[in-house]
Amino acid sequence: MVVLPYTVAFLLLCSLQTVKIANSQSFIGINYGQVADNLPPPSSTAKLLQSTSIQKVRLYGSDPAIIKALANTGIGIVIGTANGDIPGLASDPNFAKSWINTNVLPFYPASNIILITVGNEVMISNDQNLMNKLLPAMQHVQNALNDASLGGKIKVSTVHPMGVLKQSEPPSSGSFDPSYGDLMKGLLEFNSANGSPFAINPYPYFAYRSDARPETLAFCLFQPNAGRMDGNTKIKYMNMFDAQVDAVYSALNSMGFKNVEIVVAETGWPYKGDDNEVGPSIENAKAYNGNLIAHLRSMVGTPLMPGKSVDTYLFALYDEDLKPGPGSERSFGLFKTDLTMVYDVGLSKSSQVRANFMCISLVFRVFNSQVFYS
């Protein structure tokens, strides 16, 4: 049997494309919240993650059992200090050193800790004292890493909500709330000087809740829609995620920090909620997360940051049944606590293998007429 050369080339291209997809998903992460009383053992979660294309996990704290369970998996781990730790970290360098000695040194490098987030959404806490101490806390954590010869290996940052932007529409006019003034500038100078990312939580879901029109839903879910024109750049945006991320890029650029990397620390869509909540459903959650993952895998990027995918941590790995608030707050999980999927968005490695098999099978069928027998 002889196969034409270009058939072989096409088969190889198909296989190589699959390898490329499998090996290029370091930009897909997930949040592992623990406000729950029914979570599976960390060892089970580690095995679950290894069965997926998820390459990074963000913890809101520094649970040693989870960090240890992820050892030797290669999965990147983001750990965090509590907001309540910020005053101590800011005032006492030894507290920062002790925090690193307790939460990093016993586990690294077997556990691939890549980032420490100092606090979460501190800038909208309305606690001026906490806001003022955020940067000194970050600096002391960075210094403690430097003293442990880990300064260039583990980054330090903090996580912001979209609320730190005064304006986000159109994306080219994105700007930070001026009331943060020198505080935000200091944080960005820290990010720039240390090569650490600006971590932000864009949620098209919340944008839809405040504008619950069908066309807004399609724009938020990456579904066919008329798009939204940025009058300044004449760029037509086709989805809310790109628009929000580019608004953050514009805000960074307006302050002279366009080279600071953006990381999406949280984004997701609830699959159920209370009767009076607009937007939560299995259909919408699957559409948002599935289409977002496909968008990231395409490597198209955003209009202002083309050709690359922003590191994006999906929210969330599991539901957190003890979270307060409306029902949607307890319904963001992609996996059930019995380790099965709530809905399938193509994260499992087995689904990628099936896709590869289908691709190769299709090639054989298409080129079957070009196979000759000798």
Tokens coding 63? 């649970």
**DSSP count for the chain of H helices, then E strands:** 12, 16
Cβ–Cβ < 8 Å for 32, 370: no
Q: Token pair for residue 286? A: 């699957």
121 is catalytic: yes
State the Cα–Cα distance between residues 329 and 289, nearest whole angstrom: 16
Alpha helices in the chain (DSSP H): 5-23, 42-50, 64-69, 86-91, 93-103, 128-147, 181-194, 204-209, 214-220, 240-254, 282-298, 349-366
Residue with tokens 């086709």: 238
Catalytic-role residue among 121, 169, 189, 261:
121
* Closest listed residue to residue 312, CA positions, set 241, 228, 234, 231: 241
Q: Which of 169, 189, 261, 266 is catalytic?
A: 266
Determine the Cα–Cα distance for residues 279 and 46; give it in Å rounded to an integer: 31
63, 348 Cβ separation under 8 angstroms: no
- 84 in the Ramachandran plot: left (φ > 0), alpha (ψ -120 to 50) or beta? alpha
Is 215 designated active site?
Answer: no
Q: Report in angstroms the alpha-carbon separations of 141 from 67, 145, 148.
A: 19, 6, 11
The contacts of residue 203 (CB under 8 Å, 6+ apart) are: 162, 266, 267, 268
Which residues form the catalytic set? Answer: 121, 266
